[in-house]
Amino acid sequence: MSDADLFAKCDSPRVQEYRTAGEMGLLPYFREMASQPGPVVVHAGKEVVMLGSNNYLGLTADERVKRAATEAVERYGSGCTGSRLMNGTLPIHTELESELCDWLGGEACLVFTAGYLVNLGVLSTLVGPGDAVFLDTGCHASLLDGAQMSRGKMVPFKHNSSASLRRRLSAWRADDGGGALVCVEGLYSMEGDVPSLAEFAAASAEFGARLMIDEAHALGVLGPDGAGRAAEEGVRPDLLMGTFSKSLASCGGFLIAPPDVIDYLRVLCRPFLFTAASVPAAIAAALEALRVCRKEGWRRDALAERAAQLHRGLTELGYPVGAPSPGAIIPVHVSDDWKAARLWRALLDEGVYTNCALPPAVPRGRALLRTSVMATHTPEHIDRALRAFEVARSTLD
């Protein structure tokens, strides 16, 4: 009989690094924010420029969005107290699903309580024994976890390489006859880079695979009326998912798919069936943010201008930021975990908050600071941030 302690694994080198970083004041996680997530936030009692938020369109502080959330609470209460299956579906759930279809195209939509649950549920429910899911190696953890929960085979392919996907699909089709699902993102969350969706759609169609596009970080930012990268390229995927926690100033996620697929998920997708429905405030906020997003194209223009300003300034300062992204995300490559943490701390001391991305969020040896801008940042906010980057640059020496 083994006498191994289940908790022994918790005393790991990674946990020790976490604690050491905290003792040194270099822990970039679980920081408390004391204000709304706008272009400037209150952290540790002082105002800092926020370059670490997914509030891309700046709608979390919009009075229309906040009023919609408040009115929903007054009408429906603070929570649904049940799953969508049972007593948790409100008129605003179905109204939001209808407007998402109208905005993004598609026949049917299903709203989930979290974007993570969409990917977890879709892959674990649709990909069964004998099937395969093909994942870009840059995909979000929720897609990876969904693939691992499925009863099919997970096949990774090289990031942003349709040629790599074709090789994997060809080998799969030569040996197996099951269904295949290809998963890519419209805009990747760490590097801010984008794939050629048309190439991936063509490869999927050639080998009879279904295509799923995760538009979490492109929605609201790119495409006609902010409808995302797929709309921008004129690609109609079989499955399209997105979230409300970025541009749409709320929390939750959705899937657009053929009606048969949506109905199948309604009755068999466990992460949907056994999760409490999204609270009224979250659904109403997302619905109003969606309407504002479609109407106010100036937000996308402002976002693009601020992203270009930050990218240009960081390049001039000598920071390795790679090619310009069409979205809000500008990665600052550092590679070494501790250097990344020291740079994060130096910037915070200078009044700028960024995200420090370490493994497993990025591959080992690829640490970076993930910066992102908002439509509501001003040129002066970005100039202030760049002055902080100039002061903090010495931490990389």
In this structure, are 97 and 172 located in the same domain? Answer: yes
Encode 136-147 in three state secondary structure. Answer: ECCCCHHHHHHH
Write the pLDDT tens digit of every residue in 170-228. Answer: 999 888 778 999 999 999 999 999 999 999 999 999 999 999 999 999 999 999 999 99
Residue 3 falls inside a structural domain: no
Total number of domains in the chain: 2
Quick one: 181 and 209 in the same domain?
Answer: yes
Q: Give me the percent of the chain exceeding a pLDDT of 70.
A: 99
Are 280 and 315 in the same domain? no
Per residue in 24-47, pLDDT tens?
999 999 999 999 999 999 999 999
Give the residue ranges of DSSP H helices in the chain.
Answer: 13-23, 63-76, 91-104, 115-126, 141-149, 162-175, 197-206, 229-233, 259-268, 270-273, 280-295, 298-316, 337-349, 379-392
Based on the domain organization, do 201 and 120 belong to the same domain?
yes
Average of per-residue pLDDT across 354-373: 90
Q: Higher model confidence: residue 336 or residue 305?
A: 305
What are 286-311's pLDDT values in tens digits? Answer: 999 999 999 999 999 999 999 999 99
Task: Categorize the per-residue pLDDT at 365 as very low, low, confident or very high, splitting at 50, 70 and 90.
Answer: confident
User: Which class for 109: exposed (0-12), middle (13-18), buried (19 or more C-beta within 10 A)?
Assistant: buried
Residue 67 CB contacts under 8 Å (≥ 6 apart), including other chains: 288
Q: What is the pLDDT of residue 1?
A: 60
Task: Establish if 72 belongs to a structural domain.
Answer: yes
- pLDDT, tens digit (0-9, with 9 covering 90-100), for 54-91: 999 999 999 999 999 999 999 999 999 999 999 999 99
Do 220 and 302 lie in one domain? The reply is no
Q: What is the pLDDT of residue 366?
A: 87
| Whether residue 15 is found in the same domain as residue 114 | no
* Residue 384 CB burial class (10 angstroms; 0-12, 13-18, ≥19): middle
Domain that includes residue 383, residue range: 10-61+297-396
